[in-house]
Amino acid sequence: MKYIKKSFYEMSITELASDFAKEEINPKAASLLYRHFYKEKSTEACAHHNLSKKAKAYLSDHYSFDLPIINNVHISEDLTVKFLIEFNDGEKVESVLIPFQNKYTLCLSTQVGCAMKCSFCFTGTQGLKRQLSTSEIIGQFILAWNWLKINRPMESKTQQLKNIVFMGQGEPLHNFDAVKKACEILLDQHGASLGCQKITISTAGYLPGLKRWNEEMPGVNLALSLHSVVEEKRNELIPINKRFPLNEIMDYIRTIPLARKQYIIFEYLLIKDFNDSIEDAIACGEYLKDVQAIINLIPFNPFPGSLYQKPDAKTVLAFQQKITEYNIPALLRTTKGDDILAACGQLNTKINSLTSLNSSPAKRL
């Protein structure tokens, strides 16, 4: 008898254990499998001697361990790696592996395209095709980890993949359930065992998702795409601000319980002659001065067809200095991967005409 197989990468450890218990298989097999596939990052079948024959047969009949494929890889001069990930239905997303200060950060996508239509973002030009499943989100993590292990073996030991940011294609809180479950899998102590403060979820301000945050999302970091506190400017940059105004968003953000040394991250994309003036900095500082905040300043990264430009270094530093006068940490984010369209706001799979001497064809790990 043929069964419709479930993806292992879709399952929480609790769901696995419950499934095994129903089949009179030792539920402890769930933690063994989590260690094998998440902690050890194995892509081979688990042959551990503590896994019974019955469990192995059940897994073979009822579970799929298939991963997406890496359709293409582009490597930047600064060693940032952009993956074009292809799923079973042929849809694709991009994810980015970013080296920084002796560790790697992985930027994950959560949707094929995006419905938010932010004017500064290349992804917004392609519209929303569909949501990603939890297994498709986790698959990006497994593929990136194993690519690093195979292609940069020394660095994979000394510069491990320590941070996850949900800042790729898509609005994470518009795909709340899949993102929440992916976080729970990545946090589980039997598996990847990442810390809550090693995972950051970015939102353009999707209020229905934010309303669920306190009760449902594990204590990971929240980043808000701010970019301006001036309503007219934010409306242009982030059209959903007209539906979910910044003041309403902030009402919910102020209720989020924060751990010690945990902050709300505000992302501020600096655009030449639009939101980069000293007056803009003063408005931002006044607005956030009573919030437990960190501001990431990101000089705009141009993409094909973009209407905006990157400000000069002097303007960026003046903006940063003015923000710090409000005792708000303002960090200037180093641009990574802009030569391969892998920097913030540059991801797009609808127009994937980029060519590179460092690209490689599709492969399955």
CATH at residue 27: 1.10.150
Same structural domain, 13 and 38: yes
Q: What pLDDT, in 10s, does the model give residues 276-330?
A: 999 999 999 999 999 999 999 999 988 777 889 999 999 999 999 999 999 999 9
Final residue of a structural domain among 14, 33, 64: 64
Q: Is 257 a domain residue?
A: yes
CB 336 within 8 A of CB 342: yes
In the chain, pLDDT over 70 holds for what percent of residues?
Answer: 90
Q: Is 358 a domain residue?
A: no
Final residue of a structural domain among 64, 83, 104: 64
Determine the Cα–Cα distance for residues 173 and 194; give it in Å rounded to an integer: 20
Predicted confidence band at 354 (pLDDT cuts at 50, 70, 90)? Answer: very low
Q: What is the mean pLDDT of the chain?
A: 89
Predicted confidence band at 2 (pLDDT cuts at 50, 70, 90)? Answer: low
- Collect contacts of 226-233 with beta carbons under 8 A, ≥24 apart: 226/266, 226/267, 226/268, 226/284, 226/295, 227/120, 227/267, 227/268, 227/269, 227/271, 227/275, 228/268, 228/275, 228/280, 228/284, 229/283, 229/284, 229/287, 229/288, 230/275, 230/280, 230/283, 233/274, 233/275
Say how many domains are in the chain: 2
Alpha-helical (H) ranges within the chain are 13-22, 29-34, 53-62, 134-151, 153-158, 176-187, 207-216, 231-237, 246-253, 278-288, 313-324
Whether pLDDT at 347 is above 80: no
Determine the Cα–Cα distance for residues 174 and 170; give it in Å rounded to an integer: 8
Same structural domain, 145 and 219: yes
Q: What is the pLDDT of residue 363?
A: 42
Same structural domain, 312 and 259: yes
Same structural domain, 200 and 155: yes
Same structural domain, 28 and 116: no
Reading the block at residue 201, the tokens are 């979820």
Same structural domain, 127 and 245: yes
DSSP letter at 208 equals: H
Catalytic-role residue among 46, 118, 284, 344: 344
Whether pLDDT at 355 is above 90: no
Task: State the residue for tokens 């298939």.
Answer: 66
Same structural domain, 60 and 181: no
Determine the Cα–Cα distance for residues 269 and 308; give it in Å rounded to an integer: 11
Predicted confidence band at 353 (pLDDT cuts at 50, 70, 90)? Answer: very low
Q: What is the pLDDT of residue 325?
A: 97
Q: What is the pLDDT of residue 361?
A: 41
CB 168 within 8 A of CB 114: no
Whether pLDDT at 216 is above 90: yes
Q: The domain containing residue 41 runs over which residues?
A: 6-64
Q: What is the pLDDT of residue 339?
A: 67
Q: What pLDDT, in 10s, does the model give residues 49-65?
A: 688 999 999 999 999 99
Q: Is 349 a domain residue?
A: no
Same structural domain, 34 and 89: no
Q: What pLDDT, in 10s, does the model give residues 149-162?
A: 999 887 655 558 88
Q: Is the pTM of this model over 0.85?
A: yes
Same structural domain, 142 and 189: yes
Whether pLDDT at 338 is above 90: no
Whether pLDDT at 358 is above 70: no
Top pLDDT among 146 and 362 is at 146
CATH of residue 257's domain is 3.20.20.70
Question: Is 344 an active-site residue?
Answer: yes
Determine the Cα–Cα distance for residues 347 and 93; give it in Å rounded to an integer: 9
Q: What is the pLDDT of residue 270?
A: 96
Question: Is 77 an active-site residue?
Answer: no
Same structural domain, 157 and 248: yes
Give the mean model confidence (pLDDT) for residues 23-39.
93
Predicted confidence band at 164 (pLDDT cuts at 50, 70, 90)? Answer: very high
Catalytic-role residue among 10, 46, 86, 94: 94
Determine the Cα–Cα distance for residues 205 and 226; give it in Å rounded to an integer: 8
Range of 40-44, 180-184, 361-365 with top mean pLDDT = 180-184
Q: What is the pLDDT of residue 307?
A: 86
Q: Is 28 a domain residue?
A: yes
Q: Is 260 a domain residue?
A: yes
Same structural domain, 155 and 261: yes
Same structural domain, 15 and 118: no
In the chain, pLDDT over 90 holds for what percent of residues?
Answer: 75
Q: Is 365 a domain residue?
A: no
